[in-house]
Amino acid sequence: MTYCTQFDALAEAAALGGPREARALDAHVATCAACAAEAVLADDASDLVDVLAPLRAEVCPPAVVTAALRDARRTARPPVRAARTFSRLRVATLAFAVTLVVGLALRLSLASPAEVALDRTDAPALEVATAETGAPLVELSTPAPDAPAADPTDKPDEPVKVDVAPPDPAPERVAAAAAPRLRPTLTSATVPPPDPAPTASDTLAAVHGLRLALAVVRDARREGLAAVAPELGRPQVALASSISELP
C-alpha cells in the first residue's frame, strides 16, 4: 500500500509543534484520499489484538492503589482542617467581640447619675457647698453591715494625742481643729438602708460615697495637721507618722 507521505511530515510537525501544526494535520487528513483509505483500513479487525493479549493480563500492584488512596486522603485533609481551624477562630473572635460589647454596655448602663455626680465631686467643692448650706452634701450614715452605726449623739472623737516633746502640745487646740472636720459628714441618715439584695447601682453609689467620705476625712486631717504643726513646731509628716502609731 502507498502511504501518504505528506501525512508523515505533517504528523512529525504536529508532534513537535503546537496547535497550529496539529490543525494543519487534521485539515490534511480530512481532505486527503490516501489518508481516508488508511482510515478505512484501520476499521478492519486487527490481527494484533491476540498478539497483544499478554499485556491485558497486567494488573496494578495493590501497593500502588493503597498509596494513591493514602495520598488522596492526605492531600484532601488539610483544607478541611484549615476550614475547621478558621471556623474556630471565627467563633472565638465573635465571642470575644460580643463579650466586649456586652461588657461595655453593662458598664455604661451601671454608671448612674449619682455615680457621675460623685465622680465630679472633690473635696474642696464639698467644703464650699457645706459651708454655704450648713449641711453635708453627701450624707452617708448608712453603716456597713458589720460596722457600728454612727450615733449623732456621740461625743467628738478623743483628742489626738501627739507624742511629742514639750513645748505645750495644746491638745485642746488639736482636737478643736480636727473634730469639726471629722464629724460632720457622718451624721443624719437620709440614705435608706440597703435592701437585702442591693442592686449594682446601689453598691456603686455606696462605694463612691464611702470613698468620698474617706477623702473628706483625709482632707480634714491634713488641714488639721497643717494648723497644729506650726504650733507644735513639728513637720506635718512627723505628726502624721506619730498619729498613725497611736492605738
Compare residues 68 and 106 and give the one whose CB is closer to other proteins. 68
Applying the rule CB under 8 A, the residues between 69 and 98 that interact with other proteins are 69, 71-72, 75-76
Compare residues 38 and 219 and give the one whose CB is closer to other proteins. 38
Judged by DSSP in three states, 10 sits in helix
x/- letters, 5..44, toward other proteins (CB under 8 A)? --x---x---x------x--xx--xx----xx-xxxxxx-
All three cell numbers of 195: 435592701
Asked if 47 is part of the footprint of other proteins (rule: CB under 8 A), the reply reads: yes
Whether 187 contacts 152, CB under 8 Å? yes
Task: Determine the Cα–Cα distance for residues 173 and 148; give it in Å rounded to an integer.
Answer: 28
Using CB under 8 A, count the residues that bind other proteins: 41
Applying the rule CB under 8 A, the residues between 152 and 181 that interact with other proteins are none
The three-state DSSP-derived secondary structure of 159-217 is CCCCCCCCCCCCHHHHHHHHHHHHCHHHCCCCCCCCCCCCCHHHHHHHHHHHHHHHHHH
Region of 54-62, 133-141, 163-171, 235-243 interacting with other proteins (CB under 8 A):
54-62
Applying the rule CB under 8 A, the residues between 207 and 226 that interact with other proteins are none
Residue type for position 8? D
All three cell numbers of 241: 507618722
> What count of residues does the chain have?
247
Burial class (CB in 10 A: 0-12, 13-18, 19+), 162: buried
Chain centroid to CA 47: how far?
80
Region of 62-70, 86-94, 182-190, 191-199 interacting with other proteins (CB under 8 A):
62-70
Compare residues 44 and 172 and give the one whose CB is closer to other proteins. 44
Residues in touch with other proteins (CB under 8 A):
3, 7, 11, 15, 22, 25-26, 29-30, 35-36, 38-43, 46-49, 51-52, 54-61, 63-65, 67-69, 71-72, 75-76
